[in-house]
Amino acid sequence: MRGAFRGFTLLEILIVIVIMGMAASVVVMTSPASSPEAQLHDQCSRYARLFSFLSEQAMVEGVLIGLYIDDEGMRILRRERADEADINTGDGDFVSQLIAAYDSYDSFEWVEYRLPSIDSSYPISEDLSLELSVGGLSIQASKSFTDDTALTRADIEHRFDTKIRPQIYFYPTMEITPFELKLSTKSSRDYAEYIIKGLENGRIALKNGENDKEPEYF
């Protein structure tokens, strides 16, 4: 005689659900945390996407966007446009034109670049080291960089000591200042490093600094 089929009771179903939930929580708690290398990769990937976004925004808005980097982090700046009447290239000799060019350059001002989708500043974790190279030259990240080689160092410091000058520029033409930004962990035990490269054509590359794998492009 075929026995009658008895279904599960509500209590039995609830017990099974509770047991499955407890098992899942144990798996999550016992899973190893992501490695320092993976965490650094995720952070550098976010920065690379941000730089690619800034390059696109410079073209869309037709403005010059700058990136200022120091030991504490990164600041995104926008160059305010000056009226054409404020720009005077000078009609005299070369020296007069050079001075006039610098005067017109000073008429521009760098201000924080604000958008609802991004922050205007990004602090760097104290557990990371930062090295910046612009145009093949190593830059001390704790000081502003300018490419004003026509003046002496004293003249540059006198003119620009009160103004923040970005080290990296994103142009409306989709070009950017060639740069390399290396982020690495300070711990020798779990050392990891990644290099973010800005290419002249506006593309951003991300590469693991400890192997020869092909870079990611953004």
Q: List 204's β-bridge partners, or say none.
A: 198
- Structure confidence at residue 94 (pLDDT): 52
Distance CA 203, CA 45 (A): 13
Is residue 166 in a domain? yes
Is residue 158 in a domain? yes
Domain range enclosing 69:
34-82+89-217
Residues with pLDDT less than 70, the chain = 1-8, 11-13, 21-33, 81-107, 140-163
74, amino acid identity: M
Is residue 14 in a domain? no
Is residue 130 in a domain? yes
- Structure confidence at residue 147 (pLDDT): 40
Q: Tell me which residue has tokens 């490695």.
A: 35
Retrieve residue 158's tokens: 């006198």
19, amino acid identity: I
Whole-prediction pTM: 0.65
CATH code for the domain of 133 = 3.55.40.10
- Structure confidence at residue 12 (pLDDT): 65
Per-residue model confidence as pLDDT tens digits over 112-131 = 898 888 888 898 888 899 99
- Structure confidence at residue 151 (pLDDT): 38
Is residue 38 in a domain? yes
46, amino acid identity: R
| DSSP string for residues in 112-154 | E--BTTB-SEEEPPTTEEEEEEETTEEE-TTS-----TTS-HH
- Structure confidence at residue 86 (pLDDT): 43
Angle at 174 between CA 169 and CA 177, to 5 degrees: 30
Report CA torsion sign: 147, 150, 154, 156: negative
Is residue 1 in a domain? no
- Radius of gyration for the alpha carbons in the chain, expressed in angstroms and rounded: 26
Is residue 134 in a domain? yes
* Strand boundaries in 44-120, DSSP class E: 65-70, 73-79, 110-112
User: In what helix (H) or strand (E) does residue 159 lie, and over which residues does it extend?
Assistant: helix 153-160
Is residue 69 in a domain? yes
CB-CB contact of 106 with 156 (8 Å): no
What total of structural domains would you count in the chain?
A: 1
